[in-house]
């Protein structure tokens, strides 16, 4: 996760680009905490299905991809505001769009992101 965060930050190159691993969203912190709990409890059962799944099968588990616009630094998904990132219902939609956007990638990595607007 640390590597993915760095790759997204570096690829986008600006603080107002909100991506799956950015501090603006709670997903990185929540996932990091969940993974730590699994490690401390020595509970790897949630990962069993990933060991034998093909790349296609894993991609099929992702939400449908949203409309994306390829921009130089990533895959633009639209704008978000501070109110959006503080709203639980909107967060669910943001997560679905960010994760679904990975289905549109080919061999070239471009980080899916939203622009943070006032």
Q: Quick one: which of 23, 18, 4 has its CA closest to 76?
A: 18
All structural domains of the chain with their residue ranges: 2-116
Q: What is the pTM of this model?
A: 0.86
pLDDT tens-digit profile, the chain (118 residues): 899 999 999 999 988 899 999 999 999 999 999 999 999 999 888 888 888 999 889 989 999 989 999 998 799 999 999 999 999 999 999 999 999 999 998 888 999 999 998 7
Write down the pLDDT at residue 33.
93
CA 75/CA 67 separation, integer angstroms = 9
């Amino acid at each position: 996760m640390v590597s993915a965060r760095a790759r997204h930050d570096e690829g986008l190159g600006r603080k107002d680009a909100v991506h799956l691993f950015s501090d603006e969203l709670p997903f990185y912190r929540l996932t990091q905490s969940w993974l730590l709990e699994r490690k401390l409890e020595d509970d790897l059962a949630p990962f069993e299905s990933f060991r034998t799944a093909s790349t296609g099968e894993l991609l099929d588990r992702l939400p449908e991809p949203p409309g994306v616009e390829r921009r130089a630094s990533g895959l633009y998904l639209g704008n978000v505001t501070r109110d959006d990132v503080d709203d639980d219902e909107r967060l669910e939609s943001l997560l679905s769009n960010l994760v679904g956007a990975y289905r549109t990638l080919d061999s070239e990595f471009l980080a899916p992101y939203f622009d943070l607007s006032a």
